[in-house]
Chain A
Amino acid sequence: MDCQLCQKELDEYPGGNTDGNLNNQVKAHLEICEDCAVIYRIRSLAESVISFEKAISPDNNLSATIMARIEKEEDVSNNGKSLFIRILKPALITSSMAAAIFAGVLMGNIYKPISGEPGRPIELTLIDDAAIESVDILSNQ
């Protein structure tokens, strides 16, 4: 048996689909070929490491823990939403109203009547306030 065939048959060695005769040939080759023997030892050890790791089970409470975490995270997310509804939304509405009122006052103050609009009558403008007789004087009379 050559190394190529031996390494091909190692997948099934020992036992598996390898028949008795082939099994013996592989065994004989492994005794004389150090390279194939090393590959076989690596395979065997790797398989035992993997088998051991595969046999480890997750925590018994793992699914309960997962569901509890999902529930908790959903509650936190819902609480986050209700916090927005309870506090931030009224605050947002109040501040929007305050901003609207402020803008209204500001616009009212900067308003100037356009020229051509009827203002104070000219007769009133021409009245000389200083010349108007005091009410006291009139009352004394």
Chain B
Amino acid sequence: MTDSEIIIEVLHGNRNSFGILVEKYQSLVFRTCMGFLHDKDDCDDLTQDIFIQAYQSLKGFKGESAFSTWIYRIAVNASLNRVRRNSGNPILNRLDSLFGSGKEKEFQLPVSDTENPESILIRQEHSKWIQDALNGLPENQRTAIVLSKYDDLSQKEIAEIMQTTEGAVEALMQRAKANLRLKLSPAFKKIGKTP
């Protein structure tokens, strides 16, 4: 059954058919969210919201693009909104962390049993740098990087999702890489060959 057929069924009142689309695209949406939020619980929540939003606006889906492209657009917009919302309340966030009511957002790479605590900490700190550098990119550069590196999409697919040209995506990617290099190089130069 194609996506279009499933959508027609859902629009005719067969709500359960939407479950097929959820099963099919949940990993894709979750991965996109991960590229922006870097937190599993946040991404689970946001993935739920994205599918509910998609279900409610399914009547507006005209079929001009693939369902995957449409759901990617919703996921990117919802993720960017969530990021804006999270960064929009610095005082609240600080209070949250101060009183321990906020969730622990520290990103942690997997650790092996043989690794000593110091190197684990160093590695996690370096990972945090990468994460912060990604978060500090302008929204369009960040979107291009996330869709390329997290979702392994081609420039053509990214261009379709971002409603721009392949050339523009290529330029965004180059600028994003240059920005990441600029942000991270000084820190990595200081620490030598540690990572």
Cα A52 to Cα B39 with chains together (Å): 12
A62 touches B185 (CB 8 A): no
CB closest chain-A residue, reference B40: A56
Residue-wise interface mask of A (33-49) relative to B, using a CB-CB cutoff of 8 A (1 in contact, 0 not):
01101110110111011
Residue-wise interface mask of B (32-48) relative to A, using a CB-CB cutoff of 8 A (1 in contact, 0 not):
00110010100110011
Which residues from A are CB-within-8-Å of B127?
45, 48-49
A66 touches B22 (CB 8 A): yes
Interface size class of A (residues with CB under 8 A): 20 to 34
- A120 part of interface (Cβ distance < 8 Å): no
B195 touches A54 (CB 8 A): no
B34 touches A41 (CB 8 A): no
Which residues from A are CB-within-8-Å of B185?
35, 38-39, 42
B23 touches A58 (CB 8 A): no
List residues of A whose CB falls within 8 A of some B CB.
34-35, 37-39, 41-42, 44-46, 48-50, 52-54, 56-59, 62-63, 65-67, 69-71, 73-74
CB distance from A61 to the nearest CB of B (A): 10
A41 touches B15 (CB 8 A): no
A41 touches B48 (CB 8 A): no
Size of interface on B: residues with Cβ below 8 Å to A: 38
A57 touches B22 (CB 8 A): no
B131 touches A57 (CB 8 A): no
Which residues from B are CB-within-8-Å of A42?
130, 180-181, 184-185, 188
Residue-wise interface mask of B (1-41) relative to A, using a CB-CB cutoff of 8 A (1 in contact, 0 not):
00000000000000110110011001100110011001010
B193 touches A52 (CB 8 A): no
A66 touches B51 (CB 8 A): yes
- B171 part of interface (Cβ distance < 8 Å): no
B48 touches A62 (CB 8 A): yes
B15 touches A71 (CB 8 A): yes
CB distance from B105 to the nearest CB of A (A): 13
A54 touches B52 (CB 8 A): no
